[in-house]
Amino acid sequence: MGLVLDVGCGLNPRGDVNTDPYLESTHRRRGRGPTLKGNIIQAKAESMPMFTDRQFPVVRCHQVLEHIEDWKQALREMWRVCDKHLIVEVPSRYWLKFPNVHRSKVHISNFDADVFKKAIPSVLGTRDFEVTTQYRGMFHKMIPFPSWPHIVRLDVWR
C-alpha cells in the first residue's frame, strides 16, 4: 500500500505521515486541548511544499475541508502530492435544513455530493472519481461534539 499522508490529522493522526496547521492547543477546544505529539508536520492543506509531486500513494483528509476557505486549492495541493488514491470526507450540509441544527461557526464551507461532482473535473482535471453520501449514526445530547451523521466521501484515483 505504501505511505499514507493524513492531511489535517488533528488529535487522531492515522497516517504514516501526518500534517496539521496547529500543533499548539490554543487552536483546539477553546485553548484547552492537548498539544499534538508524534510524527506530525506543521502544514496547511492548501500549501505543502515540503512534499514532492506524487510522493504518497494514498492521501486522506477527514473532516478538514469544511474548515478551509479555499478548499479548492487544498484539493489541488492534496492531488499534487497524491500518487494513486485521494480520500476526502466532510460532513454533509444535509443537516442544515433541520431547524434545531445550527451551522458550526468553524465550518466555513458546506458540502453535498453535487458540490464535488461539479467541482472535481475542473479543479483536479480528472473524471476518475466517486462521490458517496454515507449515514453514520445520529446526534445525541450527551455527546459533547457533533458526530456528523451524514458524511460526503470523495474518492479520486489516478
Q: What is the mean pLDDT of the chain?
A: 84
Nine-digit cell string for 2: 505504501
Predicted confidence at residue 149, as pLDDT, reads 67
- Which helix (H) or strand (E) segment holds residue 17: the answer is strand 17-20
Percentages helix, strand, coil for the chain (3-state, rounded to 5) are 25, 30, 45
Q: Which of 22-36, 47-61, 77-91, 116-130 has the lowest mean pLDDT?
A: 22-36
Q: From CA 64, how far away is CA 61, in angstroms rounded?
A: 6
Predicted confidence at residue 136, as pLDDT, reads 66
Domains and CATH numbers, the chain: 4-157 (3.40.50.150)
R_g (Cα) of the chain, nearest Å = 16
Report which of residues 158 and 146 the model is more confident about.
158
> pTM to 2 decimals?
0.84
How far is CA 77 from its chain centroid? 12
Look at residue 146 and tell me whether its pLDDT is greater than 80: no
